[in-house]
């Protein structure tokens, strides 16, 4: 099988993640265990070959903490909201399929945004159009255009947060100019 050699630097995040998993599973973060884990991780990455994920090369931890806080807050409120809908509305519930156009064209960011949106109850990614980076979401309890607009605004805010955390510099610059306006 002919395949492209992947430089070690693109494999590095995956190897680090696998070493962390190894350490967590053994509940032992001693140096010996980690070195052995690194050897296994390197072997696994090379034997079970996967196309490399194209990261953007940026990661800002300072924005990650408030994002996690916002994520947890939305998780709790949305869970309570869906609970309330199940009890109060039940079978008479109406929902909508809303198209949301994202700013970034990077696969990685679109995936991350879709993931974050799907994790919060009340919205679910049905379909992705890669060519225009549009997400099609199924949303609970949306009865009019105002509700759909609220969903769109919310998703684009989530994407803006993710761009600040790990978007490419061009995406970040585009976001800055959009906010300056």
Partner 1 sequence: MTDVVVSVLLIAGALLSLAAGIGLVRFPDLLSRMHAATKPQVLGLLLFLLALAVESGSWVLVPLLVLCWVFQLLTSPVSAHMVGRAGYRTRHLRRDLLTLDELDDVVVRAADDSDGPARPDLGSGRGAGGGT
> Is 105 a residue that touches partner 1 (CB under 8 A)?
no
Residue 106, phi then psi, degrees to nearest 5: -75, 130
> Is 130 a residue that touches partner 1 (CB under 8 A)?
yes
Q: How many Å apart are CA 84 and CA 86, to the nearest integer? A: 5
> Is 93 a residue that touches partner 1 (CB under 8 A)?
yes
> Is 53 a residue that touches partner 1 (CB under 8 A)?
no
Q: How many Å apart are CA 91 and CA 83, to the nearest integer? A: 13
Q: How many Å apart are CA 36 and CA 29, to the nearest integer? A: 11
> Is 68 a residue that touches partner 1 (CB under 8 A)?
no
Cβ 102 vs Cβ 91: under 8 Å: no
For partner 1, which stretch binds (CB under 8 A), given 18-26, 31-39, 43-51, 58-66? Answer: 18-26
Element (H, E) at 70: helix 61-88
Closest CA to 139 of 126, 130, 129, 128: 126
Among 16, 65, 76, 173, binds partner 1 (CB under 8 A): 76
Element (H, E) at 56: none
Closest CA to 15 of 37, 48, 47: 37
Q: Which is nearer to partner 1, 64 or 75 (CB)?
A: 75
> Is 23 a residue that touches partner 1 (CB under 8 A)?
yes
For partner 1, which stretch binds (CB under 8 A), given 59-67, 84-92, 153-161, 171-179? Answer: 84-92
Closest CA to 103 of 36, 32, 163, 47: 163
> Is 150 a residue that touches partner 1 (CB under 8 A)?
no
Among 124, 172, 174, 175, binds partner 1 (CB under 8 A): 124
Shortest Cβ distance from residue 104 to partner 1 (Å)?
Answer: 17
Contacts to partner 1 by CB under 8 A: 20-21, 23-25, 27, 29, 75-76, 79, 82-83, 85-87, 90-99, 114-115, 118-119, 121-131, 136, 138, 140, 142-145, 148
């Amino acid at each position: 099988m002919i395949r492209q050699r992947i430089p070690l630097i693109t494999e590095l995040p995956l190897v680090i993640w696998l070493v962390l998993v190894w350490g967590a599973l053994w509940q032992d973060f001693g140096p010996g265990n980690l070195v052995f884990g690194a050897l296994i991780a390197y072997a696994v990455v090379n034997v079970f070959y996967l196309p490399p994920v194209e990261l953007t090369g940026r990661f800002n931890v300072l924005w990650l903490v408030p994002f996690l806080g916002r994520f947890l807050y939305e998780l709790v409120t949305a869970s309570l909201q869906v609970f309330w809908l199940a009890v109060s509305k039940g079978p008479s519930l109406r929902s909508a399929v809303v198209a949301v156009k994202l700013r970034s064209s990077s696969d990685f960011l679109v995936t991350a945004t879709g993931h974050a949106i799907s994790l919060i109850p009340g919205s679910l990614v049905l379909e992705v159009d890669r060519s225009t980076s549009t997400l099609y979401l199924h949303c609970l309890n949306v009865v009019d255009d105002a509700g759909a607009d609220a969903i769109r605004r919310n998703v684009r805010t989530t994407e803006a947060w993710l761009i600040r955390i790990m978007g490419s510099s061009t995406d970040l610059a585009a976001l800055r100019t959009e906010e300056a306006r």
